[in-house]
C-alpha cells in the first residue's frame, strides 16, 4: 500500500491534470506545498507510526464494484477480499478489526468490502437536506472546507464534480479518507490536511461548502470573508452552521461549553447570520433549511463509542443542551459572490 504522505502529495500531479477545468489552481501549488510542509510534514502526529502501520496492512485488493450514490458510499464486496486461508466471514471480520483501529468514525456511513461502518453521524441526511437547493455540482470545481473524512467529497464525485477538494486539519480523518479513496483512486477528489486560514485566496472555485465549521471559528465574519476569497465571481457558497431561535439582533456566545463542546463561539439566529453574510459581501442570500439535530442523526455506535448527542442534551428536556442553551439546530444558507 502507498503511504499517506505519498497519497497526499499525489494531489499535486492529480491537480495538474485538472488545470484546464480549474483555471489557475496550478499557480497556487507553491503556496500549498509550503503550507503542507509547514503544517503537515513538519508536525508529526503522535499516533502517525501506529496509523501508518495499520494503513499499510489493509488489504491490497481491487473492488469489483462501487457506488457512491443515495444508497451510501459502498466500495467492494466481501468476495473481493478472498484472503488466503480465511473464509469470507473471517476476512470481513479481520477487515472490520483493522478499520476499527481508525476509530472514532464520525462521518459516513460507509460500506467497505462487506464491512458496514456505522458512523456517529448520518452525513447522508445532511447531503439529502442541502442537495435540492444547491446548483448541481456536475462539472463544477468544489472546495469543501472542514470536510471531515471527506464523506461528502465522495457524494460530490458521484454527482460529477470536475474536482472536489476537501480541507481538514484532523489527521485521523486524512487516514479515513485515504482508506476509501485508495480503492477508487481515479475519483477527482482530494483532501489536504490544512486549515482554511492556510489557504490562498484562490478566487476560482465554482462552489465552496462550509458545513459545520463557522461556530468553531472565533471570528465568524472573517471566516465568511475567507470563504468568499476562495470563490470565483458569481460562485456559490453553501453554509451550514448551528443557529439559535431569534431575530437580526440575536447571537449566542456560550459562557463556556455548548452541548459539552469547548470550541463553540458564535451561534447566530438566522436573520443575524444573513446580516453577517451581507456584511461579508455576499448577495442572493437565502436560508433553505433549518433542522433540529435528532438523536437518530448523531448517536453513539460501535464505531464511535464516546458520548454523543443524547449525552449532550438536558436529560429532562431534549430541547435544551446540557448547559441549558437551545438544543443544536442547523441552518443551511446559500449565497453568491457578486459576479
Ligand X SMILES: C[S@@+](CC[C@H](N)C(=O)[O-])C[C@H]1O[C@@H](n2cnc3c(N)ncnc32)[C@H](O)[C@@H]1O
**Closer CB to ligand X, 92 or 117, in the complex:** 117
Kindly state whether residue 124 participates in binding ligand X, applying the rule CB under 6 A. no
- Burial class from Cβ neighbours inside 10 Å (0-12, 13-18, 19+) for residue 210 reads buried
25 vs 4: CA distance, rounded Å: 23
Cis peptide before 61 (omega within 30 of 0): no
**Closer CB to ligand X, 15 or 298, in the complex:** 298
Report the residue from 22, 35, 167, 189 that binds ligand X according to the rule CB under 6 A.
167
User: DSSP character for 62?
Assistant: -
Rounded to a whole number of angstroms, the minimum distance from the CB of residue 20 to ligand X is 27
- Contact present, 28 and 202 (Cβ < 8 Å): yes
Rounded to a whole number of angstroms, the minimum distance from the CB of residue 81 to ligand X is 28
Q: Which stretch binds ligand X (CB under 6 A): 30-38, 200-208, 212-220, 291-299?
A: 212-220
- Burial class from Cβ neighbours inside 10 Å (0-12, 13-18, 19+) for residue 52 reads middle
Report the residue from 212, 220, 228, 328 that binds ligand X according to the rule CB under 6 A.
212
User: Which residue in 197, 156, 204, 149 sits closest to 174, CA to CA?
Assistant: 149
Number of C-beta neighbours around residue 215 at 10 A? 22
- Contact present, 146 and 121 (Cβ < 8 Å): no
Kindly state whether residue 228 participates in binding ligand X, applying the rule CB under 6 A. no
Interacting residues with ligand X between 131 and 160 (CB under 6 A): 145-148
Report the residue from 112, 163, 213, 231 that binds ligand X according to the rule CB under 6 A.
213
Rounded to a whole number of angstroms, the minimum distance from the CB of residue 211 to ligand X is 3
Report the residue from 107, 155, 190, 337 that binds ligand X according to the rule CB under 6 A.
107
Q: Under the rule (CB under 6 A), what is the footprint of ligand X?
A: 107, 123, 126, 145-148, 167-170, 173, 195-197, 211-213, 216
Amino acid at each position: 500500500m502507498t503511504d499517506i504522505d505519498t497519497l497526499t502529495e499525489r494531489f499535486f500531479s492529480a491537480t495538474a491534470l485538472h488545470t484546464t477545468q480549474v483555471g489557475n489552481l496550478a499557480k497556487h501549488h507553491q503556496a500549498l506545498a509550503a503550507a503542507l510542509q509547514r503544517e503537515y510534514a513538519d508536525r508529526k502526529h503522535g499516533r502517525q507510526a501506529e496509523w501508518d502501520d495499520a494503513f499499510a496492512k489493509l488489504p491490497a485488493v481491487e473492488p469489483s464494484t462501487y457506488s457512491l450514490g443515495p444508497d451510501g458510499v459502498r466500495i467492494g464486496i466481501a468476495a473481493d477480499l478472498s484472503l488466503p486461508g480465511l473464509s469470507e466471514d473471517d476476512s470481513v471480520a479481520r477487515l472490520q478489526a483493522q478499520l476499527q483501529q481508525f476509530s472514532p468514525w464520525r462521518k459516513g456511513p460507509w460500506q467497505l468490502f462487506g464491512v458496514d461502518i456505522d458512523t456517529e453521524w448520518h452525513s447522508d441526511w445532511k447531503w439529502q437536506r442541502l442537495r435540492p437547493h444547491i446548483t448541481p455540482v456536475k462539472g463544477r470545481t468544489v472546495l469543501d472546507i472542514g470536510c471531515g473524512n471527506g464523506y461528502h467529497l465522495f457524494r460530490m464525485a458521484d454527482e460529477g464534480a470536475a474536482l472536489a477538494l476537501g480541507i481538514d486539519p484532523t489527521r485521523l480523518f486524512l487516514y479515513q479518507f485515504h482508506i476509501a479513496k485508495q480503492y477508487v483512486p481515479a475519483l477527482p477528489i482530494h483532501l489536504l490536511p490544512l486549515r482554511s486560514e492556510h489557504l490562498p485566496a484562490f478566487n476560482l472555485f465554482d462552489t465552496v461548502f462550509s458545513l459545520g465549521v463557522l461556530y468553531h471559528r472565533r471570528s465568524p465574519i472573517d471566516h465568511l470573508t475567507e470563504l468568499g476569497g476562495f470563490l470565483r465571481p458569481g460562485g456559490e457558497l453553501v453554509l451550514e452552521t448551528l443557529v439559535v431561535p431569534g431575530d437580526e439582533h440575536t447571537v449566542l456566545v456560550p459562557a463556556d461549553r455548548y452541548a459539552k463542546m469547548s470550541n463553540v463561539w458564535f451561534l447566530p439566529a438566522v436573520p443575524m447570520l444573513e446580516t453577517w453574510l451581507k456584511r461579508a459581501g455576499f448577495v442572493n442570500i437565502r436560508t433553505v433549511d433549518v433542522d433540529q439535530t435528532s438523536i437518530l442523526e448523531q448517536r453513539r455506535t460501535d464505531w464511535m463509542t464516546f458520548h454523543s448527542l443524547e449525552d449532550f442534551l438536558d436529560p429532562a428536556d431534549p430541547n435544551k443542551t446540557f448547559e441549558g442553551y437551545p438544543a443544536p439546530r442547523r441552518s443551511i444558507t446559500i449565497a453568491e459572490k457578486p459576479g
